[in-house]
Structure 1
Amino acid sequence: MEPLNHLQSFVQSAESGSFSAAARRLGLTPAAVSKNVARLETRLGVRLFQRSTRRLTLTEGGERFLGQIGGALATLQDAVAGLSKDDGQPAGTLKVSMGQAFGREHVLPMMGDFLARYPSILPDWHFDNQQVDLVGEGFDAAIGGGIELSPGVVARELARIHVVAVAAPSYLAGRALPAQPAELAQLDALLRRSSPTGRLRSWTLQHASGDQTTVELPRPRAIFNDPEAIAHAALMGLGVAMLPMPFVERGLCSGELVRLLPEWHFDAGAVWLYYPSKKLLPAKTRVFIDFVLERFRSERFAQRMQVT
């Protein structure tokens, strides 16, 4: 195994783009960092950087090696840091990815209790609706959906998410409530445009009996590419929206939103807790996983996200 300082010099140089910046982070001289990287290249028999007077650029082999060791190096560093603590408490930087609106509404409120229980852990939470490479980008965990289950990634289901039709009481005042999904086409619709394809998303609903129907897309009142924006527009009384329960639960509970067609919904799939599968999972990651699972379970999150 390569000396830890050689690997640290490589990773920091790759992330910062220069030996000088890496040296400042590591408390070394640029010459020492350069020498560590050179020794690592010699040992591996692969050139990791293309060097110029202005900047370092990873070679193809360097990019591949960085992806392979980034998360593993963080785990080693955390393990060393953890062993050096006398109290034995989980410690280190906890890098987690989560959706923007979902993270703010359902995960961020947990942070206070989590930090009170584990004060030596530093949350480094990334609120992003884009999928991440859990292992390659060095994340300790991720919360969301659709992450590819590459080798070494574990997924724990937090809840099935139902999509429902909602509108504000101010919009519904003086209007007849729809009795069938087809009647939604007569109302002002707040539609969502798919970010990957640019197409308008259709409205599909399933009855409690199992029958399923797709609503002919009504004339839109407004179009958004963000479900949180659609939820705000619905709260403003601008029209009817089809939204996942995480975005409308608070409005439904407060009465600011009304659910239409209560016997109809759509199953949008699950929200998952992802983490790298390791025999020696860092303590900081293990306690975070256990904390989230216990909190979502105690708050009956899965039951609240399903309407039937």
Structure 2
Amino acid sequence: MRLSLEQVEAFVLTVEHGSFSAAARALGRTQSTISSAIAYLEISLAVELFHRSTRVPTLTEDGQALLLEARALYDRAITFERHGDALADEQAASITLAVGIPPDQIMPVLEEFAERFPHTDLIIRNPDRGDASRLVLADEAELGIAFLLPEYPDALGFHQMGKLLMTHVAHRDHPLAKVPSPSFDELRGYRHLAYISHSSALPTSEYLQSTQTWHTDSYEALTALARSGLGWATLPRQLVLPEIISGELVELRLDAYPFTDWLVSVDLIWHRGRRLGSVETWLLDRFRRHPVHEVAGDGQDTIRMR
């Protein structure tokens, strides 16, 4: 090869820092090393990159034309180097999360994860029947985030991340949407659409019973059923907040519990006996510090219970 990455690095950093000496300090090298690297690069390319007539290095037209490509080459080299460092550090090639809550709640952590570990792939699984603990216990997921279960196996560790509000909704054209305060008897007269794990795992009461009940293990399917008007549904309020704000779905203010919010804890779950690598440990610690809470339609917190 006629040129080296060290020469390209010297060129890019000299432009970024404004002088040979500043680039040398940034790289921990001598000024003469940087000057020589750029001189050899100019010889290899047969062009002059900087004007030498001024005290501060100024790009020539050729130098300006080559700068964009040099930066791209330098950035790719940095990415390649970091990927190698990640493999040498035995960082996981991929991480699997079992997520049973609206994913928007954990998006800030995932964005930070993407920036910090760009070479670790992320797999997000929808827990079967909403039970993230099964995937974690079977080592099919490193971490789980889901609504609480009445109890966990001793092999699992858990941490409450916060609480989310479960709400009962119906399409605006559904008969229940026209009732200001539906009674238990009125609810029982119409089809209930429910997330399958909620019927056995979450705190419930008699008003959730209906003469007809359709179950699904997909929030997406449950929301679609509610929007179609096929029944009244029990869903995380955060998941259908846009539909509530637009008026497509109407929250049912129950006659017996007009001011009672049904708050359900959200737990972070991990396998106690599993050896966690540096990436998994970082993600576990970061999730433990990340609060899950209700957010109003204007983006403001409405509930923050820990």
Task: Calculate the TM-score normalised by the size of structure 1.
Answer: 0.51
Is the contact made by 1:166 and 1:242 (CA closer than 8 Å) also made in structure 2?
A: yes
1:23-45 deviation line (CA, Å, top 9, x unaligned): xxxxxxxxxxxxxxxxxxxxxxx
Specify the code of the residue in structure 2 equivalent to 1:142. G
Is the contact made by 1:134 and 1:141 (CA closer than 8 Å) also made in structure 2?
A: yes
Partner residue of 2:142 out of 122, 132, 140: 140
Partner of 2:162: 159
Bigger Cα Rg = 2
Does structure 1 residue 223 correspond to structure 2 residue 225? no
Partner of 1:97: 97
1:134-159 deviation line (CA, Å, top 9, x unaligned): 365264322224373424x3211122
Deviation of residue 179 (structure 1)?
Answer: 4.5
2:174 partner SS: helix
Q: CA RMSD in A?
A: 4.5
Residue 295 to residue 172, structure 1, CA distance change in 2 (3 Å): farther
Is the contact made by 1:190 and 1:230 (CA closer than 8 Å) also made in structure 2?
A: no
Specify the code of the residue in structure 2 equivalent to 1:163. M
Specify the code of the residue in structure 1 equivalent to 2:98. M
Specify the code of the residue in structure 2 equivalent to 1:111. L
Equivalences for residues 28-39 of structure 1 within 5 A: none
Percent of pairs identical after alignment? 16
Output the CA distance in 2 between the equivalents of 1:99 and 1:122. 16
Partner of 2:171: 168
Deviation of residue 167 (structure 1)?
Answer: 1.2
Does structure 1 residue 85 correspond to structure 2 residue 58? no
Partner residue of 1:272 out of 267, 275, 278: 267
Residue 275 to residue 219, structure 1, CA distance change in 2 (3 Å): closer
Residue 94 to residue 274, structure 1, CA distance change in 2 (3 Å): farther
Output the CA distance in 1 between the equivalents of 2:224 and 2:252. 17
1:215 partner SS: helix
Partner residue of 2:282 out of 270, 287, 292: 287
Is the contact made by 2:165 and 2:262 (CA closer than 8 Å) also made in structure 1?
A: yes
Partner of 1:214: 206
Specify the code of the residue in structure 2 equivalent to 1:189. R
Specify the code of the residue in structure 2 equivalent to 1:148. Y
Residue 96 to residue 204, structure 1, CA distance change in 2 (3 Å): closer
Output the CA distance in 2 between the equivalents of 1:115 and 1:254. 32
Is the contact made by 1:162 and 1:306 (CA closer than 8 Å) also made in structure 2?
A: no
Specify the code of the residue in structure 2 equivalent to 1:248. V
Residue 85 to residue 148, structure 1, CA distance change in 2 (3 Å): same
Aligned residues: 209
Is the contact made by 1:167 and 1:257 (CA closer than 8 Å) also made in structure 2?
A: yes
Partner residue of 1:182 out of 181, 185, 195: 185
1:170 partner SS: coil
Equivalences for residues 63-82 of structure 1 within 5 A: none
